[in-house]
Amino acid sequence: MTSSTAAALDTHRVQRRTVLVLSLAQLLSGIGSGASLSVGSLLAVQLSGSNAWAGSVTTVMTLATAVAAMPLAGLAERRGRRIGLLTGVLSGMLGAMVVIAATVSGFFPVLLAGAALLGLATAANLQARFAAVDLADPEHRGRSLAIVVWAVTAGAVAGPNLIRPGAVVGEAMGLPGIAGPFVFSTAGLAMAALLLLIGLRPDPLLHALAIRRGAGSGALTAVPGPRRGSLRRGLAAIRSSPKAGLALLAIVAAHACMAAVMSMTPLHLQLLSEGPLASHGAGHAHTASTDVFVLIGFTISLHIAGMYALSPVMGWLTDRAGRVPVIIGGHGLILAAACCAGFGAGQPILVTTGLVLLGLGWSAATIAGSTLLAESVSVDSRVLVQGVSDTLMSAAGAIGAGFSGLVMSWIGYQGLNMFAVAIAAVVMAVLAADIRSRSTASPSAAG
């Protein structure tokens, strides 16, 4: 066996272990994050004493994720994926403990501080999908990334169901019942950190850089080079690669559309149920209220399933059909979803169908876009570019969710969906124009 063959086999073995470790860590930390999100709004109202602060925990977590993306990327660039991911996950574990302290003390600002630290764990979870492609073969990058994304499904589904058992655990520990889910969060994040610490060796990013630079095993401890101006260097790398720019546009636009429509759908369904029943008796209104909460939970659960459950399929399609076609298909699904939910705004079944399509479109655009982004820049620039992507993606989600209420109050739920249609259509047009320009340029180059 030649030395090059042995090195290839070793890289494949490291890659398989990396994807397994990242997937298990995502599952554990996802359960922790899911448990936190499931009761965050309840805690915010309880500790602040006002319904106006109900969305504060989610907002703080989202903003913290956006702010932390670049520092964590810079840390990963200097020290490797393992240190970068560990820092985010351990910060999230500390955040869960701070939230528990907030429930005991009843001090609302402490709750927001804990939510901010939990946002760092979310930033680490986002970066884990990129760690899965550091050593992946080009033909398997989409699949590797999708498997790690898919691992979040278990946490997203299990988290909201931990409220009742969490209350039992919390009370058994002498804590307020509502603090119980954060005990699960702490445990899940702690196990994820331990798994990353032990299992993510050798570090996939440092291993990939060593291979690229022809270095030996001794080069797997540090990455040389200038470290200032990370955001500026990341943006410069994106500007130098048209494909990276297209990938970033697709990711950010898909996340903005998803966050805007999803965040307003529960309110729309509630208002929809109240309108036609306003003239009926109080008993009918109470029944309708119970039914609509079931409908809202069912709709959001199906939406989350659409986002994550078919991730491996989206990864397979990305590898087989190509990155750009899957991105276009993903935004096509987002466009169809917004049309279905918007024009069918008066029919709950059409709204639910639209939310499922929205989740599927987000999955396709995000997985294919992330794969294209990772392979469109050099290994030396990849981590910083991915940090820029996560920062802008999280910021777009926060802006989309934050302004969706204003947009809906101005032009209604249908108008909000038409706004998403316009964004998806623009992205599809830009990508289609790029395909046409490349196909036109190819014959000319050949001639």
Give burial (CB, 10 Å; 0-12/13-18/19+) of 239. Answer: exposed
Q: How many domains does the chain have?
A: 2
How do residues 229-281 score in pLDDT, each as one tens digit? 577 888 899 999 999 999 999 999 999 999 889 888 887 887 887 764 333 33
53 with 141, same domain: the answer is: yes
Confidence at residue 164, expressed as pLDDT on a 0 to 100 scale:
72
248 with 125, same domain: the answer is: no
Confidence at residue 41, expressed as pLDDT on a 0 to 100 scale:
67
Confidence at residue 225, expressed as pLDDT on a 0 to 100 scale:
44
378 with 431, same domain: the answer is: yes
15 with 158, same domain: the answer is: yes
384 with 304, same domain: the answer is: yes
Sign of torsion over alpha carbons 94, 95, 98, 104? negative
> What distance in Å separates the CA atoms of residue 193 and residue 127, rounded to the nearest whole number?
14
130 with 279, same domain: the answer is: no
Confidence at residue 146, expressed as pLDDT on a 0 to 100 scale:
87
162 with 265, same domain: the answer is: no
Confidence at residue 435, expressed as pLDDT on a 0 to 100 scale:
85
Contact in structure between 69 and 127 (CB atoms under 8 Å): yes
Would 223 be classed as within a structural domain? no
SS (H, E, C) 314-373: HHHHHHHHCHHHHHHHHHHHHHHHHHHHHHCCCCHHHHHHHHHHHHHHHHHHHHHHHHHH
Peptide bond into 276 cis (omega under 30): no
CATH code: domain of residue 49: 1.20.1250.20
Termini Cα distance of the chain:
43
265 with 293, same domain: the answer is: yes
Name the residue among 330, 299, 297, 290 with its Cα closest to residue 313: 330
Would 445 be classed as within a structural domain? no
SS (H, E, C) 183-236: HHHHHHHHHHHHHHHHHCCCCHHHHHHHHHHCCCHHHCCCCCCCCCCHHHHHHH
- Please provide residue 274's backbone torsions phi and psi, each rounded to the nearest 5 degrees: -80, -35
H helix runs in 240-281, sequence order:
242-277
Give burial (CB, 10 Å; 0-12/13-18/19+) of 177. Answer: middle
Confidence at residue 184, expressed as pLDDT on a 0 to 100 scale:
87
- Please provide residue 2's backbone torsions phi and psi, each rounded to the nearest 5 degrees: -75, 160
Name the residue among 400, 402, 405 with its Cα closest to residue 423: 400
Among the three residues 167, 193, 217, which one is the final residue of a domain in this structure? Answer: 217
Name the residue among 354, 165, 164 with its Cα closest to residue 260: 354
183 with 93, same domain: the answer is: yes
Q: CA 229, 246, 22: angle at the middle one, nearest 5?
A: 70
List, in order, residues 6 or more apart from 107 with CB less than 8 Å away: 47
Confidence at residue 443, expressed as pLDDT on a 0 to 100 scale:
53
275 with 415, same domain: the answer is: yes
Among the three residues 217, 242, 272, which one is the final residue of a domain in this structure? Answer: 217
Q: Which domain holds residue 335?
A: 229-439
3-state SS assignment for residue 264: helix
Would 447 be classed as within a structural domain? no
Would 328 be classed as within a structural domain? yes
Among the three residues 217, 250, 276, which one is the final residue of a domain in this structure? Answer: 217
178 with 239, same domain: the answer is: no
- Tally of CB atoms within 10 A around 434: 15
How do residues 35-82 score in pLDDT, each as one tens digit? 665 577 678 878 988 766 766 787 788 889 989 999 998 899 889 999
pLDDT along the chain (447 residues), means of 10: 51 90 89 64 80 73 89 90 96 95 94 93 89 87 87 67 75 86 89 95 88 54 48 87 94 94 85 58 43 73 85 93 95 98 94 96 96 88 89 88 84 94 96 84 49
Would 318 be classed as within a structural domain? yes
Q: What does DSSP assign to residue 134?
A: S
Would 444 be classed as within a structural domain? no
> What distance in Å separates the CA atoms of residue 326 and residue 338, rounded to the nearest whole number?
18
Would 209 be classed as within a structural domain? yes
278 with 141, same domain: the answer is: no
Confidence at residue 257, expressed as pLDDT on a 0 to 100 scale:
95
3-state SS assignment for residue 133: coil
What's the whole-model pTM score?
Answer: 0.77
Confidence at residue 282, expressed as pLDDT on a 0 to 100 scale:
39
